[in-house]
Amino acid sequence: MPTLLSAKEPAGLTACVTGGSRGLGLLIADQFAARGCAVTLAARDREELEQARSKLLRRHPRAVVDIVVCDVRDQDEVRSLMRGTYERRGGLDVVIANAGIIQVAPVESIGAEEFQSAMDTMFKGTLHAALEALPYLRKSPHGGRLGIISSVGGLLGVPHLLPYACAKAAAGVLAEGLHAEAAADGVSVTAVYPGLMRTGSHLHAQFGGDRTAEYSWFSALAGAPVVSMNAQRAAARITRAVLRRRVRLVLTPMARAADLAHGVAPGLTTRVSSLAARALPSGTGRREPLAEGKDTAPTAHPVAARVRAWGSAMNDKVTHSYNQRHG
């Protein structure tokens, strides 16, 4: 996990990362730990949090790493998280709102419940983190910093990822609006729009419809060279952007191209998305509970299996180190 430091970035701050037990959140926490920051990891699973702390302390033996079990959907729990971090460490300087879920399915195979679940975690959870952190960030002698992790999916509607895209779009708008309002109090808010990253998230993404086919295309694309980004490099750039008070960060060349194209020619990009949707798996005609990638049966089609194995190879390699797979 390479960590790039800069004299322009303050060190020794107190940081809190929601969704910090695995994947991108864990890698961002690693960046803060390397800078001498006291880091609080928040997530729902205590076992994952313990494992995440152990990984950070092995890399940074002198790091200060706290863990807090917290469901960001519950504002009272988030309020306790932020207050506890502030009181325990004597301040709160940086908060990264990163907690999220990924649901992959055609819209005919899901319902309003899946959209509500995505909004509860990625919009309301982000909102709770922002509202409860801001009073403490305003008190930071270094100037508070809030990073909100949206996605390229929040910049345009992505087929078979609609609940995710809707929630991430709302989080992005929240970030940009908060930046305008919080600036007068000395707090910067950075909106982050990553493209595909090799975080190993395909194991915990939830799949519906033809689950095997949906898992195959998503895991292959999320890990494919050129299309996806090294997650360590992404975490380093996100951390620098938040510490340097960037207003907006769009990661990966493809994500920046999609952002530009949608801004210049939204009708064209929507038609291109329609063509892409036709290449994705068809629905099954029925609604069933979503299943995580780690619980999804692999494809039996030899060509599809080879494509998935090739595309996902680099993503599969990082699942243990990024705390996505245990044992």
Query: Mind telling me the catalytic residues?
Result: 164
Residue pair 166/119 in contact by the 8 Å Cβ criterion: yes
Q: Are 37 and 48 in contact (CB under 8 A)?
A: no
Residues in contact with 298: Cβ distance below 8 Å, sequence separation at least 6, in sequence order: 212, 216, 305, 308
| Displacement of CA 20 from its chain's centroid (Å) | 9
Contact by Cβ (8 Å): 235, 28: yes
CA atoms within 13 A on the CB side of 22: 24
Contact 103, 118 (CB under 8 A): yes
Going from the C-alpha of 74 to that of each of 49, 78, 81, 133, 153, the distances in angstroms are: 18, 7, 11, 14, 24
Residues 318, 200 contacting (CB under 8 angstroms):
yes
Three-state DSSP class for 250?
A: strand
